[in-house]
Amino acid sequence: EADIYQTPRYLVIGTGKKITLECSQTMGHDKMYWYQQDPGMELHLIHYSYGVNSTEKGDLSSESTVSRIRTEHFPLTLESARPSHTSQYLCASSEYTNREQDTQYFGPGTRLTVL
């Protein structure tokens, strides 16, 4: 069973505030990802990391930034939240093996509302 955690689960915040969404995994996975998903809609990759000190932007342009200082931790930061950032943010991790390429395990998500 996957052990990947996200906090907070729900966040309501005012415009202009700086926020950090936390994501941690205890599986020792090298690869971690952040997705943005509006309710009932598709998953958009916004950031991913191959390992410590490795981060890349995904397909969807995002004003957020990420860091990967420790293998197990992949926080996402919004310097100045805006209503357009309102969405669900899903964190995932994976470990590449010969048998299971990049099978991703998802955290429970953070539902962000910016007023």
Partner 1 sequence: QQPVQSPQAVILREGEDAVINCSSSKALYSVHWYRQKHGEAPVFLMILLKGGEQKGHEKISASFNEKKQQSSLYLTASQLSYSGTYFCGTGGVPGRRALTFGSGTRLQVQP
Judged by the rule CB under 8 A, the positions of this chain that interact with partner 1 are: 31, 33, 40-43, 45, 48, 58-59, 90, 96, 100-109
CB of 58 to partner 1, least distance (A): 7
CB of 18 to partner 1, least distance (A): 25
Name the residue nearer to partner 1 (CB basis): 14 or 40: 40
Distance, CA of 10 to CA of 115 (rounded, Å)? 14
Torsion angle, alpha carbons of 77, 82, 59, 70, to 10:
10
**Could you tell me which residues are beta bridge partners of residue 2?**
none
CB of 16 to partner 1, least distance (A): 28
Distance, CA of 76 to CA of 55 (rounded, Å)? 11
Name the residue nearer to partner 1 (CB basis): 65 or 103: 103
Q: Are 112 and 19 in contact (CB under 8 A)?
A: yes
Phi/psi at 17 (nearest 5 deg)? -80, 150
User: Which pair of tokens denotes residue 32?
Assistant: 């971690």
Name the residue nearer to partner 1 (CB basis): 16 or 108: 108
Name the residue nearer to partner 1 (CB basis): 11 or 43: 43
CB of 68 to partner 1, least distance (A): 14
